[in-house]
Structures are given as C-alpha cells and as structure tokens.
Amino acid sequence: MAAVKKAPAKKAAAPKKPAVPPGKKFRKVKMGIIGCGMISDTYFQASKKFNVIEVVACSDIIPERAKKKEEMYGCKAMTNEELLARKDIEIVLNLTPPQVHSRIAMDTLNAGKHAYSEKPFGVDEADAAKVMALAKKKGLRVGCAPDTFLGGGIQTCRKMLDDGWIGKPIAATAMVLGRGPEKWGQAPFFYDYGAGPMLDLGPYYVTALVNFFGPAKSVTAITKKGSKFRTLGAEVGETYKDIYKPFDRYPVTVTTHLTGVIEFQNGVLATVIASFEAYAHNHPPIEIYGDEGTLLVPDPNTFGGPVKVFRHGENKWIEAPLSHIYTENSRSIGAADMAIALQTGRKHRCNGDLANHVLEIMLAFDKSSKLGRKVDLKTTCERPEPLQLGLEHGEVEK
Ligand SMILES: NC(=O)c1ccc[n+]([C@@H]2O[C@H](COP(=O)([O-])OP(=O)(O)OC[C@H]3O[C@@H](n4cnc5c(N)ncnc54)[C@H](O)[C@@H]3O)[C@@H](O)[C@H]2O)c1
C-alpha cells in the first residue's frame, strides 16, 4: 500500500514588511535621529522632501534638545534606548560628535537597525573597523555622510567626466583652506581628536574625488600644527560653556595644515590641501585636468554649481548647465538612497566601504608625514553609481 503523503509542513511566516502604497514603487522607511545639535535642523528639514523616508523619533543626551525638535518637527522625543527599542524604526541617523559616532553606530547595529552616521566614519581606523565588522556579522547596512556628492553640482561634473568632456583625467587639485572655526562656540571640538580640517572638511573633498576617480592607491603628505592654542570668541556654545569662557585659550591637538598627493588606482594624482591656517585664499575647491581640458568643480560641501569647463581648442571657460536636480541643501539624500537600496537589494551609494576608504585616505596624511614616506592604502571601495537623470523632486530612483 502506498504510503500516505504527509501534508507539507507550514512554512514559517515571513517577517511582516509595511506594504508599498498603491501607485508607489517604494515604501516609506521610518528613521530616528540621535543627536539633536546644530546640524540636526538641516536633516529634520531636508528629509521631509524625500518620499521614502520619515523621521519619527529623536533623542539627545541633553533631553531638552530632543524635546525642542519634537516641538519644531513633530517627531517623538525620547531617550537613545527608547529610540533603539522602537520596532518601526529601520534606520538610525547618528548626528552626534565624531568621538561618539562609532559607539552609537554599534548600539544601533546591536539593536538590529541600519546605521547612518554623520562624517567622519570614525576617529581612527580601529574605530571604523569595529563598526564594519559588526555590520557584516549582523547583516545590516552602514552609511555615512557626506551625501553632497549626490547633489546637482557634483553629479553634473561626474557626468561630464564620464562623457569625456575633458578627455582622460590626469590630475586634480582639491583645496579647502580657511582660518578654521576658532572663534565659534563649538570651536574646541574642531581642534580635537577626530576633527581638524582634514577629518571635518576633508570628507567632502576626498569623497568627491573617489566619486570622480574611484578608489585610491597611496598617499604622500606632510602635515603640521600651526599653533598649540587657539582663542575662543565671545559666543561660547552651550556644549562647552562649563569648560571654556570667552577668549579662553584652548588646546589644538590635531594638525591644522595638511598637504599631500593622493594617487588613485586609475592613475590620477590629486594634490590636496586641508588647512585651518589661511585667513584668505583664491584657490577653487576642486579642479580636474584632463588631456582635452579642465573641469572646475563647485564646492563639494554644497549641492549646487557652478560647473565650468575649459576645452582645448575652444580656449575659453564655459559654464555648463546642471544635468541633475538637488542643487539646494539636501542632506539626508544619502539616507533616502539607503532606504531604497534596502528594498531593492542594491548597494547604497554613501556606504560603509566608501566612508571607510575615505577615512583611511584622510588619516594617511598624518601617517605619511610621521613616517616620512608614501603610505600604501589597505582598504578599497567601488566607485559609487551616478544618480539617474530625469529624477523628480522627492525621488532618488525612478
Ligand atoms: N554643524 C555643522 O554645520 C555640521 C555640518 C556637517 C556635518 N556636521 C557633523 O555632524 C555631527 C554633529 O555636529 P553638530 O555641529 O550638530 O554638533 P553639536 O555639538 O551641535 O550636536 C551634537 C549633539 O549630539 C548630542 N550627543 C552627544 N553625545 C550623545 C550621545 N551619546 N547620545 C545622544 N546624543 C549625544 C549632543 O548633546 C549634541 O546635542 C558632527 O559629526 C559634525 O562633524 C556638522
């Protein structure tokens, strides 16, 4: 007699995912913000324009700051622990100071959520490596600012480069110089471990360069500290008011003038200066020199233009129309891109590999200077995919 067939065992129910609303391609991903300081307003405001993300909760170690954002933006203020315990939050935006970034990222991953951090990705290589390792172990994503390279200005340059407007790129310059925020209320933060001109502003420039040329191979640099102390201005910020008084001197623990050359794997040599030692200068933010012309790249700490090109044979600068949208402050576009990538399975553009590689490049400036030689880089990443043309406002992918 034939054996009686057993009814197939019932499959375990798949975890419930919020449904994609009719007529929409992607569902809205809920996010929480940890760190309600100066930059958080930009994120609270700009995130509202992307139809795939929604900030539903916020927290700060100083609870009144989170409460204030609740009043201003309508998201729920709570403690870090409460935010991390909320089941509906999938991505945590970490807007704390650099020294806290990796700790919050680890807490986020341990809570089973994807972690998106402000720059820099970590204060040193070990700091970043532990976040990368935990994300891999947990099967979760990590992302990091800057996302300004997804703005209309840098995306237009990327397209012009890829379309051959200046031929084969040979070399570039990237210059970010200023006197530094020495008189600001939060100034001491910028002269401390994990900041300085390279880790604070370098991410915009180095990420833009990796977006243009792909991963780098080596760094050769000399760096210095201009002075041992800086003097605070009259407006002492809340964060430091118990420690510093107006016109107090505070210590400089980082190098404040870093100059060197990044050698990219595609052969491009980029001369870079990051400095808090210049009262004024006339260098453009980034120039790219190709075998058929020069591309003048706008400030990579912003989203807009202008983009200018000088082509061999035409012998004049021409301002190029911008090919991509998002020319206004759109910080959080990187998180919106991550929210879509979670749903499609593709890589998100502001990913951990990119941020980790950018961090290694930046840290290699001081390392090369100390060692007195070229530093070969250990990490690498993929060149991020350009954004699509023809996006409507609110979209990051068609
Ligand atoms: N301010 C800017 O213009 C700017 C621009 C771009 C990027 N950023 C980056 O954004 C990050 C934050 O900068 P900011 O200027 O907003 O600094 P901030 O000091 O104004 O704000 C940081 C906030 O994080 C909170 N915080 C610190 N530790 C915490 C913890 N363990 N848990 C919860 N909250 C905690 C602080 O109380 C503070 O409110 C930095 O990495 C900075 O480099 C700042």
- On the 0-12 / 13-18 / 19+ scale of CB atoms within 10 A, 301 is middle
Distance 331 CA to ligand 1 centre (A): 14
Q: Give dist(CA 222, CA 272) in Å, integer.
A: 11
Beta strands in 73-168 (DSSP E): 76-77, 91-94, 114-117, 142-144
pLDDT tens-place string over residues 308-323: 999 999 989 999 999 9
For residue 353, CA distances in Å to 320, 330, 367 come to 31, 22, 20
Distance 244 CA to ligand 1 centre (A): 18
How many helices (DSSP H) and strands (DSSP E) are in the chain?
Answer: 10, 17
Structural contact between residues 159 and 323, judged by C-beta atoms closer than 8 angstroms: yes
- On the 0-12 / 13-18 / 19+ scale of CB atoms within 10 A, 218 is middle
Q: What is the token pair recorded at 142?
A: 């990590």
Which amino acid type is present at position 199? L
- On the 0-12 / 13-18 / 19+ scale of CB atoms within 10 A, 259 is middle
Which one-letter DSSP state was computed for residue 3?
P
In this prediction, residue 231 carries a pLDDT of: 87
In this prediction, residue 5 carries a pLDDT of: 46
Instruction: Write down the pTM of the prediction.
Output: 0.94
Q: Give dist(CA 65, CA 69) in Å, integer.
A: 7
Structural contact between residues 233 and 246, judged by C-beta atoms closer than 8 angstroms: yes
Which one-letter DSSP state was computed for residue 235?
-
Partners of 115 in beta bridges? 92, 142
Beta strands in the chain (DSSP E): 29-34, 53-59, 76-77, 91-94, 114-117, 142-144, 169-177, 216-224, 229-231, 249-251, 257-264, 269-275, 286-290, 293-297, 307-311, 317-320, 375-376
Those residues whose C-beta lies under 8 Å from the C-beta of residue 225, and which sit 6 or more positions away, are 252, 254, 255, 256, 257
In this prediction, residue 22 carries a pLDDT of: 65
pLDDT tens-place string over residues 354-378: 999 999 999 999 999 999 999 999 9
Q: Give dist(CA 44, CA 57) in Å, integer.
A: 10
In this prediction, residue 147 carries a pLDDT of: 98
Which residue owns the Cα nearest ligand 1 atom 19? 37
| Residue spans per domain, the chain | 151-325+350-376
In this prediction, residue 157 carries a pLDDT of: 99
Pocket test for ligand 1, best of 60, 64, 96, 184 (most atoms within 8 A of CB): 96
Distance 315 CA to ligand 1 centre (A): 46
Distance 141 CA to ligand 1 centre (A): 21
Distance 104 CA to ligand 1 centre (A): 12
Distance 295 CA to ligand 1 centre (A): 34
Q: What is the token pair recorded at 279?
A: 């009262």
Structural contact between residues 92 and 116, judged by C-beta atoms closer than 8 angstroms: yes
The residues lining ligand 1, judged by C-beta closer than 6 Å to any ligand atom, are 34-40, 59-62, 65, 80, 95-98, 100, 118-119, 186, 200, 239
Partners of 229 in beta bridges? 251
Per-residue pLDDT of the chain (398 residues; tens, 9 = 90+): 344 444 444 454 544 555 677 667 899 999 999 999 999 999 999 999 999 999 999 999 999 999 999 999 999 999 999 999 999 999 999 999 999 999 999 999 999 999 999 999 999 999 999 999 999 999 999 999 999 999 999 999 999 999 999 999 999 999 999 998 887 766 778 899 999 999 999 999 999 999 999 999 999 999 999 999 998 876 666 666 677 777 788 899 999 999 999 999 999 999 999 999 999 999 999 999 999 999 999 999 999 999 999 999 998 999 999 999 999 999 999 999 999 999 999 999 999 999 999 999 999 999 999 999 999 999 999 999 999 999 999 999 99
* Class of the CATH domain delimited by 151-325+350-376: alpha beta
Which residue owns the Cα nearest ligand 1 atom 25? 35
**SS3 for 273?**
strand
Structural contact between residues 180 and 279, judged by C-beta atoms closer than 8 angstroms: no
Pocket test for ligand 1, best of 69, 95, 144, 184 (most atoms within 8 A of CB): 95
Q: What is the token pair recorded at 385?
A: 């995919």
